[in-house]
Amino acid sequence: MRVLLVEDDAQTAASIKMILINESFICDTTDLGEDGLEIGKLYDYDIILLDLMLPDIDGYEVLRRLRTARVRTPILILSGLAELDHKIKGLGFGADDFLTKPFDRRELIARIQAIV
């Protein structure tokens, strides 16, 4: 399975990437929303894991632009923003699921497998 991870925190990104590699997933990473947007449009992924709080543009905008560009790759939001309004907004913009940080690795893998 090929995964695009858009996460600006280097330690979090490295941890998630290790989880995915241990499950035999191929994982590409970027720490910028603009890069995630372009990579997500250019290449075929099985799923995109998207943080909301990015340094250049927020994850909602990345999500909105991907869906406007008719990118149908499943998107799982990974965010420390746990309030219901954030979840509703993300799902309303076209995310397939929303997982709050911190999370258990087993739940992350289970959600990825359920979506894909």
When pLDDT is averaged across residues 65-71 and rounded to a whole number, the result is 98
**What is the predicted pLDDT for the residue at 19?**
98
pLDDT at position 65: 98
**pLDDT (0 to 100) of residue 32:** 98
Average pLDDT over the chain, rounded to an integer: 97
Other CB atoms closer than 10 Å to residue 35's CB: what's the count? 16
Contact assessment for residue 77 and residue 54, using Cβ atoms and an 8 Å cutoff: no
How far apart (Å, rounded) are the C-alpha atoms in residues 60 and 50?
9
Give 17-58 pLDDT, tens digit per residue: 999 999 999 999 999 999 999 999 999 999 999 999 999 999
Burial class (CB within 10 angstroms; exposed 0-12, middle 13-18, buried 19+) of 104: exposed
Distance CA 64, CA 13 (A): 22
Report the alpha-carbon distance of residue 64 to residue 46 in Å, rounded.
18
What residue numbers bound the domain in which 99 lies? Answer: 2-115
Say what the pLDDT of residue 100 is: 97
The pLDDT, as a whole number, for residue 77 is 98
Confidence at residue 86, expressed as pLDDT on a 0 to 100 scale: 96
Q: Provide the pLDDT for residue 106.
A: 98
Question: E strand or H helix at 97, and its extent?
Answer: strand 97-100
The domain tally of the chain equals 1
The amino acid that residue 99 corresponds to is L
Q: What is the mean pLDDT of residues 4-29?
A: 98
pLDDT of amino acid 67 = 98
CATH of the domain at 61: 3.40.50.2300
